[in-house]
Amino acid sequence: MLSNRQSGRVKRAAALTRKKDRRAQGRFLVEGPQAVREALVHAPHLIEIVYATDESQSWQLEIDRLADDAGVELVRATSEVVAAMTETVTPQGVVAIVEDCRVALADACAGAQLVAVLHEVRDPGNAGAVLRAADAAGADAVVFAGDSVDPLHPKVVRSTTGSLFHLPVASADTLEDAISAVREAGLAVVAADVDGAELAAAREAQDLGGAMAWVFGNEARGLSAEALAQMDRSVRLPIYGRAESLNLATAASVLLYESAFAQRSR
């Protein structure tokens, strides 16, 4: 039983809440039974260790079994120790240290039909929700471009609820790098933009059924004119009610599903 909050193991895990330490260690933290479960099922080879409390929880037997089946080390720890490893206000009793799961940009795009590209998306919750929506819509990859939030940020990982382990995730130094990669893979590049063609028009023109990458910009500013100039076309979601705008993750969910529907109807 790990009970010392000041132990080296605890400090090493807690350090993964910081980007520089994630880079230095080549690892990140996965928190909560759902996310840890998905990691154990879909990426057990990347898991270094799991820490779990010995409190009676509904998820405990399954996590224990999955770790045992995968040959992953599971260490019992007090709830105070698990809490010390994370920044979560209400820790859920289980965390895992996992190797960086990102793939090379070209590999993420190769053979893809539907890709989500996030450019300068800064909010971890939004980024994680978009990744989760991309997974649900059957997208083939998600690319974090430019100065977007780190996809391995603890809040991003939590927001994906395990979807991070279901599809390839890549990082691109610049939007130009991301666009080049998706075009090389044969995808059209389409921006989500308030001044684009209305979604209904794009649907009628059957512009959404081909292989494509949706590009989503910053929550407050969207995509710059320079970025939009690099797109093949842009599409907007109409606002029929009185809302000023849609949350980024909500808009991304609608557009990704529109493409998923169109691609499956071909």
Q: Which of 193, 153, 189 is nearest to 171 (CA)?
A: 153
Q: Which whole number is the average pLDDT over 215-222?
A: 94
Task: Quote the CA–CA distance of 84 and 11 in Å, as a whole number.
Answer: 8
**pTM attached to this predicted model:** 0.94
State percent of the chain over pLDDT 90: 89
pLDDT exceeds cutoff 70 at 66: yes
Q: Is 10 left (phi over 0), alpha (psi -120 to 50) or beta?
A: alpha
Burial class (CB in 10 A: 0-12, 13-18, 19+), 136: middle
Task: Quote the CA–CA distance of 47 and 100 in Å, as a whole number.
Answer: 10
Across the chain, what does the average pLDDT equal?
Answer: 95
Range with the poorest average pLDDT among 91-95, 155-159, 167-171: 91-95
Q: Which whole number is the average pLDDT over 230-245?
A: 94
- pLDDT of amino acid 56: 64
What's the DSSP call for residue 148? P
Q: Which whole number is the average pLDDT over 32-48?
A: 97
**Tens of pLDDT, residues 82-135:** 999 998 888 889 999 999 999 999 999 999 999 999 999 999 999 999 999 999
pLDDT range class, residue 205, cuts 50, 70, 90: confident
3 φ, ψ (degrees, to nearest 5): -125, -10
